[in-house]
Structure 1
Amino acid sequence: MSKITRQGTNKILSTSVEYHNFVYLAGITADDLSKDIKGQTAEVLAKIDAALESNGTDKTRLLTATIWVKHIADRAAMNELWTPWLPEGAAPARACVEANMADPRHLVEIMVTACR
């Protein structure tokens, strides 16, 4: 039986799950909810970098990304940070949709899958 490694597990979720060298991150949101879409996106991307590193991988190994924005009109502003954050030629398969967030102050949530 293959080993499954979980980090940050509570009753609801794990912040990451690793299985067969695939790393699945839970949806990541900003902590400082007073920030605008760009500020929250920058914080989320930094948290993704840290989470990937703690799982032995990085953004050059991204496979998929799902992005939820509170207002689809903020997609362009979010992409202003997303696009330069991605390594050249390493864009993952991606979806970006408008969604109601659990806390209305959240403007963006990003969930990624990477490999090692």
Structure 2
Amino acid sequence: MSKITRQGSNPILSSSVEYHNFVYLAGMTADDLSQDITGQTRQVLAKIDAALEANGTDNTRLLQTQIWLKDIRDRDAMNKVWVEWLGDAGRPVRACVEANMADPRHLVEIMVTACR
């Protein structure tokens, strides 16, 4: 049976799961909720960078992304930060939708799947 590696586990979820060189990250949100969509997006992407690195990969190996925005009108501002972060890396498949957040101060949540 193939090994499943979990990191950052608690009774509800793991922050990441690796299986057969695929890395699944939980949805990431900002820590400083006083920031606007640009600031929160930068925070989330920095957390994703750290989580990917901890799993032996990076944002050049993204396969799929799901993005939830509190207000879909923030999409352009979020996309500006997103495009800068991706650089010349390959683009993952992606969904971006408006959603009610667990904490109304959260403006963005991003979940990614990558490979090693």
The alignment's TM-score, normalised by the length of structure 2, stands at 0.98
Runs of 4+ residues over 3 Å off in structure 1: none
Match of 1:90 in 2: 90
Separation of aligned partners in 2, 1:67 and 1:29: 10
The alignment's C-alpha RMSD in Å is 0.6
Q: In the aligned structure 2, how far is the partner of 1:86 from the partner of 1:63? A: 12
| Residue matched to 2:61 | 61
Residue segments in structure 1 that go unaligned for 5+ positions in a row: none
What 5-or-longer segments of structure 2 have no aligned partner? none
Q: Which amino acid aligns with 2:9?
A: T
Identity among equivalent positions (%) equals 77
Query: How many Å apart are 1:67 and its aligned residue?
Result: 0.2
TM-score (norm 1): 0.98
Provide Cα deviations, 1:74-108, integer angstroms capped at 9, x if missing partner: 00000010011113151100000000000000000
Distance 1:29 1:89 in 2: 22
Are the aligned partners of 1:22 and 1:114 in contact in 2 as well (CA < 8 Å)?
yes
